[in-house]
């Protein structure tokens, strides 16, 4: 190859077989222009391919972001469904709770009505000696059991049951607790069921006093006002004015309205499972046999019929035919009032 003119370049190409030389001449300007085009093309290609790569990377990132957002949206939708379900459950539970609370308030109202329906809650008994003397100037009477002395087995058995108040096993009903606060709203989950049990039981459980008066002769041993010696008094006597109203101490059905030499005119009211109350020495009865009555209704008037020293009410509580101390049942009204916090 020979030197080319100024600013020009020559290129000879000699094929090995034909031997015919091909000559190509290039000016410096053309070469520079070609180089410029080549560099520019490479730059453009590099820019385009780089921009495309960046675009693809951005698209990939966007795709990943979109998929993540879709997954988050689906998760939020599922979470929203779960929360909606929980809100519905809580709403249903709240409605049910409000319904239970309303039912409990209703039952407490019924219980309050029953407790307040006791004719009288107070009773005074002045003599607590083992053998009581009786003031004959006040109205006393009622059935007496000849003990034949304090060693009588029957009288001793009755005295052992002096503090008896029938419970669940005796009445075939749920247990009756009369401790103060026993019916607070912070009790067990079965409070409503317990309240229903209380209500059904207390409807037929005699409590409170049939009259508002002092006890002039209590339950137990006394010096008989009719015979010499010690006798067992099977009820309590309330001295009152002739014709004073007498109210029943529990719901029940009138079993007997009869006269006999000892009790005079008496009214027996059956309550439940062998539990009965007796009202004796009446001047008049205001009920008839077989009549259903509610606690607090007037069933008769105070009198002095039968074996009696003056106007008074002889009141008995009998369980399965055996007399029990009525004072325990009378005091039950006050205990119930404190237990359900109505005082």
Enter the tokens of residue 57.
């990377």
Q: Which CATH number covers residue 179?
A: 2.70.70.10
Instruction: Evaluate whether residue 148 is within a structural domain.
Output: yes
Instruction: Evaluate whether residue 289 is within a structural domain.
Output: yes
The tens digit of pLDDT for each residue in 105-150 reads: 888 888 888 887 777 765 544 444 444 444 444 555 555 555 655 4
Instruction: Evaluate whether residue 247 is within a structural domain.
Output: yes
Instruction: Evaluate whether residue 85 is within a structural domain.
Output: no
Instruction: Evaluate whether residue 86 is within a structural domain.
Output: no
Instruction: Evaluate whether residue 4 is within a structural domain.
Output: no
Q: Kindly calculate the radius of gyration of the chain based on its CA atoms and give it in whole angstroms.
A: 53
Same domain, 53 and 129: no
Same domain, 67 and 121: no
Same domain, 124 and 233: yes
Domain count, the chain: 2
CA dist 177 → 103, 140, 165, 335, 340 (Å):
21, 34, 11, 10, 11
Enter the tokens of residue 322.
């055996």
Which single residue is written with the structure tokens 């698209």? 59
Enter the tokens of residue 215.
């006890």
Same domain, 53 and 139: no
| Amino acid 170: pLDDT | 44
What does DSSP say about strands 215-217 and 236-239: parallel, antiparallel, or unpaired? antiparallel
The tens digit of pLDDT for each residue in 255-268 reads: 999 999 889 999 99
- Is 19 or 242 the better-scoring residue by pLDDT? 242
Domain of 15?
9-72
| 18 DSSP assignment | T
Same domain, 38 and 178: no
Same domain, 50 and 167: no
Same domain, 219 and 291: yes
Same domain, 13 and 145: no
pLDDT level of residue 49 (50, 70, 90 thresholds)? confident
Same domain, 245 and 187: yes
Enter the pTM of the model.
Answer: 0.62
The tens digit of pLDDT for each residue in 172-188 reads: 443 444 443 444 444 44
Instruction: Evaluate whether residue 128 is within a structural domain.
Output: yes
CA dist 70 and 58 (Å) reads 18
Same domain, 224 and 335: yes
Same domain, 61 and 202: no
Same domain, 204 and 319: yes
| Amino acid 297: pLDDT | 94
Instruction: Evaluate whether residue 84 is within a structural domain.
Output: no
């Amino acid at each position: 190859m020979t030197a080319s003119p100024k600013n020009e370049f020559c290129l000879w190409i000699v094929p090995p077989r034909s031997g015919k030389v091909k000559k190509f001449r290039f000016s410096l300007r053309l070469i520079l222009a070609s180089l410029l085009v080549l560099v520019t093309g490479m730059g453009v290609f590099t820019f385009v391919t780089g921009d495309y790569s960046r675009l693809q990377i951005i698209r990939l990132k966007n795709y990943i972001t979109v998929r993540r957002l879709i997954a988050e949206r689906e998760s939020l939708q599922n979470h929203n469904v779960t929360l909606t379900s929980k809100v519905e459950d809580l709403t249903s539970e709240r409605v049910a709770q409000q319904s239970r609370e309303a039912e409990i308030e209703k039952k407490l109202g019924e219980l309050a009505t029953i407790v307040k329906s006791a004719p009288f809650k107070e009773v005074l008994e002045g003599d607590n000696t083992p053998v009581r003397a009786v003031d004959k100037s006040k109205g006393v009477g009622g059935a007496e059991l000849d003990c034949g002395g304090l060693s009588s087995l029957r009288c001793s058995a009755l005295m052992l049951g002096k503090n008896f108040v029938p419970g669940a096993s005796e009445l075939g009903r749920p247990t009756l607790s009369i401790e103060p606060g026993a019916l607070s709203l912070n009790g067990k989950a079965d409070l409503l069921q317990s309240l229903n049990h209380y209500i059904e039981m207390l409807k037929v459980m005699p409590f409170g006093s049939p009259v508002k008066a002092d006890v002039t002769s209590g339950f137990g041993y006394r010096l008989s006002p009719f015979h010499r010696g010690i006798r067992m008094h099977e009820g309590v006597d309330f001295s009152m004015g002739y014709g004073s109203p007498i109210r029943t101490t529990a719901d029940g059905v009138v079993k007997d309205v009869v006269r006999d030499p000892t009790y005079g005119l008496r009214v027996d009211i059956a309550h439940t499972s062998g539990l009965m109350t007796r009202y004796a020495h009446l001047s008049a009865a205001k009920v008839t046999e077989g009549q259903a009555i509610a606690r607090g209704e007037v069933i008769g008037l105070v009198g002095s019929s039968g074996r009696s020293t003056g106007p008074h009410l002889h009141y008995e509580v009998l369980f399965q035919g055996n007399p029990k101390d009525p004072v325990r049942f009378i005091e039950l009204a006050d205990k119930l009032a404190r237990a359900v916090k109505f005082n």
